[in-house]
Amino acid sequence: MKHGVYVREQKTSVSTPVVAESGVPFVVGTAPVHSAESPAALFTPVLCTDWEDAVKKLGYSDDWKTYTICEAMYSHFKLFQRQPIIFCNVLDPSTNKEAVAGAEVTLSGKQAKLPFDAILSSLVVKSASSSESPLVKDTDYAAYYSDGSLIVETIEGGAAKDATKLFISYDKVKTTEIGDDDIVKGIEAIDLCMATVSITPDLIIAPGWSHTSTVQAVMAAKAEVINGILGAKSICDIDCSASGARSYDAVAAKKSATNLIDPAQIAVWPQVKLGSKQFHLSTQLAGLMAKVDSGNDGVPYESPSNKALQCDGACLEDGTDVTLTLEQANILNANGICTALKFMNGFVAWGNYTACYPSNTDIKDYFIPISRMFKWVGNSLIKTFWSKTDSPMNRRLLDNIKDSANNWLAGLVGSEYLLGARVEILDSENPMTDLMAGIVRIHIYMTPPSPAQEIDFVLEYDTDYVQSALA
């Protein structure tokens, strides 16, 4: 028997939504981890929330052609000031290296400057010749990376304190062995993000690599299905090198040649520059999309088109300037290619279509913001109701899912992120055999707003005003 007053808690009938991340890039490429304080593991997602964090884990170099991740690091943190971002390095200094024969190096101010690609851990430093015993690091000399060089500095009181020359040998980073297969392996590591950094990115870029058909295909495949269930978008550069598309009228053919036609892909051309620095357009577009999303509470319902890029020019890979007219930019757009345009107020991203346009005219596939909204809503629903998997399938469960989803979608409608939305459980989609097997299908009807990409004013001379004015 019981005697007294009792309280028990019951589970809330409506689930709190778990909103998926948006505008979080997954960047695959080469990083100078040999210079990093705490080097990130190879082929492993690394979450970074600021510049210092990224440099500590991955290192940094202005040589973006050799160390491709550094371009995205600089763009995202320095120019667009967005976070977080996830990197995946494919460069292994322990294997991607070559030996540099020992040679005498003259000291200046007790310092010797070696190239940045010299691997510190491989240094062998001697006071005079190859026949002598090596000096002891941190006793006879110090070694550290600074201002794009590996500095070797003699220590007062050490065996080389009076030396004017040192005999130095080392290994240096060799990136020529890195190929598409390494980048592909890095892209596939996106499936590890949830387990390693607890965030699933929704943008995939590989600056310096995404122009090849092999890399593009894998980027599209992973963007379509991450961990077998989640979705993203890949931003792919169209080759604008000497062997690529060097004028606007050659871009569509180049896009077709690499089979860049998937709804999960966003095709971009050419590159952009800011001062002396040059960027792949995929890098800047990822930063811009993150900026636009964050201005809308993390909801990717707004197109990045006609929003300011961080550049003062468009160019080909070799730096040749590219100046597009509005008509030329629109021709690119009509072929499912986003570009950089200077027309009214500085350089902006220009284009609303994914790479599937014009061959695919399903609006949920070809409009960038609508396509992203479908992926984002889907990802959010999966994350919200994942905990319900394997629960008893009864009316309480279905009502909880339906009511929770409807309430969340209604909030999106109220904020005008969606024009309308509803949840239904249709008998036609749920035959008895499936219900008995523990399979239920829940139908989401939703309409994200289309971008207003054409606004037409009709001007007409009205003679009535003449009469009224002169009456």
At residue 193, the pLDDT reads 97
Residue 5 binned pLDDT confidence (cut-offs 50, 70, 90):
confident
At residue 127, the pLDDT reads 87
Contacts of 59 (CB under 8 A, 6+ apart): 31, 32, 33, 34, 35, 36, 39, 67, 145
Mean pLDDT of the residues in the chain: 95
What are the pLDDT digits (tens) for 209-246? 999 999 999 999 999 999 999 999 999 999 999 999 99
**Distance, CA of 165 to CA of 129 (rounded, Å):** 10
Residue 128 binned pLDDT confidence (cut-offs 50, 70, 90):
confident
Report whether pLDDT(15) > 80.
no
What are the pLDDT digits (tens) for 144-197? 999 999 999 999 999 999 899 999 999 999 999 999 999 999 999 999 999 999
Report whether pLDDT(79) > 90.
yes
Percent of the chain's residues with pLDDT above 70 = 98
**Distance, CA of 385 to CA of 373 (rounded, Å):** 18
At residue 13, the pLDDT reads 65
Residue 118 near residue 172, CB atoms below 8 Å: yes
Residue 215 near residue 183, CB atoms below 8 Å: yes
Domain boundaries, the chain: 97-173
| Phi, psi (degrees; rounded to nearest 5) at 166 | -130, 150
Residue 465 binned pLDDT confidence (cut-offs 50, 70, 90):
very high
- Our measurement of the distance from residue 360's CA atom to the centroid of its chain's CA atoms, rounded to an integer in Å, reads 24
- Ranges 129-138, 311-320, 391-400: which has the least confidence: 129-138
At residue 320, the pLDDT reads 98
Percent of the chain's residues with pLDDT above 90 = 92
| Phi, psi (degrees; rounded to nearest 5) at 123 | -60, 135
Burial class (CB in 10 A: 0-12, 13-18, 19+), 354: buried
Report whether pLDDT(308) > 70.
yes
- Ranges 5-9, 80-84, 111-115, 350-354: which has the least confidence: 5-9
**Distance, CA of 136 to CA of 159 (rounded, Å):** 9
At residue 10, the pLDDT reads 63
At residue 350, the pLDDT reads 98
At residue 175, the pLDDT reads 93
At residue 19, the pLDDT reads 79
Report whether pLDDT(267) > 90.
yes
What are the pLDDT digits (tens) for 315-372? 999 999 999 999 999 999 999 999 999 998 899 999 999 999 999 999 999 999 999 9
The model carries a pTM of 0.94
At residue 99, the pLDDT reads 97
At residue 12, the pLDDT reads 65
Strand partners, 141: 137, 154
What are the pLDDT digits (tens) for 26-60? 999 999 999 999 999 999 999 999 999 999 999 99
**Distance, CA of 164 to CA of 179 (rounded, Å):** 42
Closest CA to 371 of 423, 227, 379: 379
Per-position b or e across 5-23, b if 16+ CB within 10 A of its CB: eeeeeeeeebbebebbbbb
At residue 131, the pLDDT reads 72
What are the pLDDT digits (tens) for 411-451? 999 999 999 999 999 999 999 999 999 999 999 999 999 99
Q: Can you tell me the mean pLDDT for 373-383?
A: 96
Q: Can you tell me the mean pLDDT for 394-415?
A: 96
Query: How far, in Å, are 87, 175, 222 from residue 30 at the CA level?
Result: 10, 8, 19
Report whether pLDDT(6) > 90.
no
